[in-house]
């Protein structure tokens, strides 16, 4: 597989320090009662499970856990679900203390036969506007529906377009959809996803499965007759954590452990890859293309070049945060955004025989996990001097005694059992990338390192969904920016869920995680029965004073636990600013949160 190497604008994760609370001292368990209202369903929920043939990691990650409650970003107090007859219903909280469920709004055509298809997916539904919906029946058909104004009383939905857009027998789910107008033409952009098996190369360790994203454009000039105007296909050798369309319908946003590639376009042919623009990933080569070492002051990158290469053949273009180093008119040895800034004047290179060494002088005395962001062709080698430094620094954390006394001169004893799941980094590093629909290239990307993905959530109807990443023990919320803006920054830090990474790691039975659009609380549901609610900031009637610091506290963070009256599996969870909707196979529960003035 090939990936973009030198066209993407490199961004970074810029934490807003004012959102970080260094004095956060945990959640206080609250026994305050939260009212829970239950609505028994007339019919059960449609649930499709993976077959024995759908066994890959792609299937497990993307399709095994499906949220059967569908949120409406245009009407956040409502949720939708599909019953066992493939009828769509709306559930909404009233001003009073109850929940109402509408009659059937739309029934999927030929549901009795389509539900019997082997290996079908769950029904998925998205809302590109206040009056349109895009639906996939999981059996191969795509629907464009006129819902009317969903802010009022529920109305019957009308089908504007129905077709097996990917051909007969190709089953898929709809991940996202957006609407935009151009020259009196209305367009609905849809992202459809499925997993495809390919022929594995002999001796290759790569997975024989691909995650495929089909980007379908449906257009109309009169808002009555719709047709497919354009199709684009993206592929990835690893499943994604996040994917969405920007609101202008110009690009796709994807977060995954390997870069995705746009491989075909029905309107504008994708240009063949060239060696200068793309590099191979998933390679099985055992030897690195270069090695590198580091100490507190310098990075030393070593290459092996042919004997015919002389000093006059080498070129170096270096700035504080970017390097371009190689052999003139021949080979690019190292190119891209540096992990950290360097002192250009103090950096140099040397060549002796076939050994070519690039020496970079660090501006800051910090350890680098990689030289060039996203470049995994090299291997870091620890030199003896650095090994000694590391062992000296670790001396205060080690002891020959099983349980050394706390007053030991080497410092506090350390026990590996104190480590939590959230302290361990993920195996794969990830990227957040924007793929342009016209150039077919990655236009922007951010290296997320090993920041663990926690969940995705829609904070505003006018913006793409936000992503929650683990930042230390917290959960940090990042809002993708507008594709029309220039510059590197495509992820804006907009909120922080204190200690959420820590508490989520402790919930081994968790199934769904989310937060409210105003980020006032986060919630985790177990596979059955229990909800854990983490209120970020709740005023208290009488101010408290911290006995250690003397600081007066006017608000505290609270944890509340709700036990639902059911033994059925939790099939769906959605959080609004003042309600939490929870779905099981036979009931809908609504937890009413007391809003504070």
Which tokens go with 247?
A: 């609101």
pLDDT of residue 511: 95
Kindly report the CA angle at 1 between 250 and 254, in degrees rounded to 5?
35
Residues 203 and 321 occupy one common structural domain: no
Q: By the 8 A CB rule, do 142 and 66 touch?
A: no
161 part of a folded domain: yes
pLDDT of residue 380: 81
Reference 425, options 380, 367, 470; nearest CA is 470
Residues 208 and 325 occupy one common structural domain: no
- Domains of the chain: total: 2
Give me the CATH number covering residue 316. Answer: 2.60.40.790
**3-class SS shares of the chain: helix, strand, coil, % to 5:** 5, 45, 50
223 part of a folded domain: yes
284 part of a folded domain: no
Boundary (domain end) residue, out of 338, 355, 376:
376
pLDDT of residue 428: 59
Residues 190 and 63 occupy one common structural domain: yes
Residues 194 and 71 occupy one common structural domain: yes
Boundary (domain end) residue, out of 352, 376, 400:
376
Residues 210 and 71 occupy one common structural domain: yes
Contact partners, residue 554, CB within 8 Å, separation at least 6: 539, 540, 543
Residues 139 and 208 occupy one common structural domain: yes
pLDDT (tens, 9 = 90+) of the chain, 597 residues, equals: 333 444 577 777 888 989 988 888 889 898 888 999 999 999 999 999 999 888 899 999 999 899 999 999 998 889 999 999 999 999 987 666 678 899 999 999 888 889 889 999 999 999 999 999 999 999 999 999 999 999 888 899 999 999 999 987 799 999 999 999 988 899 999 999 999 998 766 555 667 899 999 999 999 999 889 999 999 999 999 999 999 999 999 999 999 998 999 999 999 999 876 543 434 333 333 467 888 888 888 999 999 888 888 898 999 999 999 999 999 888 889 999 998 899 999 999 999 888 899 999 999 878 788 899 888 888 887 655 544 444 444 444 444 444 445 444 444 444 444 545 445 544 457 889 999 999 999 998 888 877 899 999 999 998 999 999 998 899 999 999 876 554 566 899 999 999 999 899 889 899 999 999 999 999 999 999 999 999 987 666 566 666 666 666 666 889 999 999 999 999 999 999 989 999 999 999 999 987 544
Residues 219 and 126 occupy one common structural domain: yes
51 part of a folded domain: yes
pLDDT of residue 153: 84
CA–CA separation, 403 vs 57, rounded Å? 42
307 part of a folded domain: yes
420 part of a folded domain: no
pLDDT of residue 374: 82
- Up-side HSE of residue 372: CA atoms within 13 Å toward CB? 21
Residues 227 and 314 occupy one common structural domain: no
Residues 202 and 104 occupy one common structural domain: yes
Residues 106 and 195 occupy one common structural domain: yes
Residues 171 and 104 occupy one common structural domain: yes
22 part of a folded domain: no
CA–CA separation, 231 vs 189, rounded Å? 10
Boundary (domain end) residue, out of 217, 238, 259:
238
pLDDT of residue 388: 47
H/E element, 390? helix 384-394
Sole residue written with tokens 């919906």: 133
Q: By the 8 A CB rule, do 446 and 12 touch?
A: yes
Structural domain range at position 95: 42-238
Residues 218 and 299 occupy one common structural domain: no
64 part of a folded domain: yes
């Amino acid at each position: 597989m090939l990936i973009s190497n030198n066209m993407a604008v490199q961004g970074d994760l810029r934490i807003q320090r004012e959102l970080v609370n260094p004095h956060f001292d945990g959640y206080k368990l609250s026994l305050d009662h939260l009212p829970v209202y239950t609505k028994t369903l007339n019919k059960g929920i449609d649930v499709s499970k993976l077959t024995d043939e759908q066994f890959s990691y792609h299937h497990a990650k993307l399709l095994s856990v499906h949220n059967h409650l569908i949120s409406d970003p245009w009407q956040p107090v409502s949720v939708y679900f599909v019953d066992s007859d493939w009828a769509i219903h709306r559930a909404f909280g009233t001003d009073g203390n109850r929940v109402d469920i509408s009659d059937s709004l739309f029934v999927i055509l030929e549901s009795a036969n389509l539900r019997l298809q082997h290996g079908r997916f769950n029904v998925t539904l998205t809302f590109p506007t206040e009056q349109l919906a895009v639906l996939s029946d999981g059996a191969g058909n795509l629907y464009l529906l006129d819902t009317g104004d969903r802010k009022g009383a529920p109305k019957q939905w009308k089908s504007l377009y129905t077709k097996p857009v990917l051909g007969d027998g190709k089953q898929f789910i709809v991940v996202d959809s957006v609407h935009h107008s151009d020259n009196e033409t209305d367009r609905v952009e849809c992202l459809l996803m499925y997993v495809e098996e390919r022929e594995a190369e002999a001796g290759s360790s790569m997975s024989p499965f691909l995650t495929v994203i089909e980007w379908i454009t449906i257009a109309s000039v009169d808002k009555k007759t719709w047709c497919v105007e354009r199709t684009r296909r993206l592929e990835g050798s690893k499943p994604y954590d996040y994917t969405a369309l920007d609101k202008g319908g110009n690009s796709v946003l994807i977060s995954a452990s390997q870069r995705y590639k746009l491989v075909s376009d029905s309107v504008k042919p994708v240009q063949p890859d060239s060696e200068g623009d793309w590099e191979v990933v998933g390679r099985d080569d055992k030897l690195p293309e270069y090695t590198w070492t580091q100490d507190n002051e310098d990075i030393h990158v070593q290459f092996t070049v042919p004997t015919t290469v002389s000093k006059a053949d080498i070129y170096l273009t270096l700035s504080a945060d970017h390097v371009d180093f190689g052999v003139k008119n021949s080979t690019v040895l190292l190119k891209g955004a540096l992990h950290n800034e360097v002192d250009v004047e103090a950096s140099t290179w040397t060549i002796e025989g076939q050994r070519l060494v690039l020496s970079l002088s660090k501006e800051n005395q910090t350890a680098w996990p990689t030289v060039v962001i996203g470049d995994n062709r090299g291997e870091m080698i620890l030199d003896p001097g650095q090994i000694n430094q590391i062992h000296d620094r670790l001396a205060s954390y080690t002891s020959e005694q099983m349980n050394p006394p706390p007053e030991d001169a080497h410092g506090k004893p350390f026990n590996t059992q104190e480590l939590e799941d959230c302290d361990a980094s993920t195996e794969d590093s990830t990227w957040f990338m924007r793929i342009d629909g016209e150039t077919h290239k990655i236009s922007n990307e951010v290296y997320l390192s090993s920041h663990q993905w926690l969940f995705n959530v829609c904070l505003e109807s006018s913006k793409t969904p936000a992503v929650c990443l683990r930042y230390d023990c917290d959960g940090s919320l990042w809002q993708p920016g507008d594709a029309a803006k220039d510059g590197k920054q495509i992820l804006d830090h907009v909120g922080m869920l204190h200690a959420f990474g820590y508490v989520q790691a402790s919930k081994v039975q968790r199934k769904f995680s989310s937060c409210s659009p105003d980020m006032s609380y986060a919630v985790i549901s177990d596979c059955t029965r229990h909800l854990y609610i983490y209120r970020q900031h709740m005023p208290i009637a009488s101010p408290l004073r911290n006995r250690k610091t003397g600081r007066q506290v006017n608000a505290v963070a609270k944890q509340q636990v709700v036990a639902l009256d059911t033994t059925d599996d939790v099939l769906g969870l959605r959080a609004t600013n003042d309600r939490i909707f929870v779905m099981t196979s036979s009931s809908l529960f609504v937890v009413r949160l007391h809003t504070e003035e």
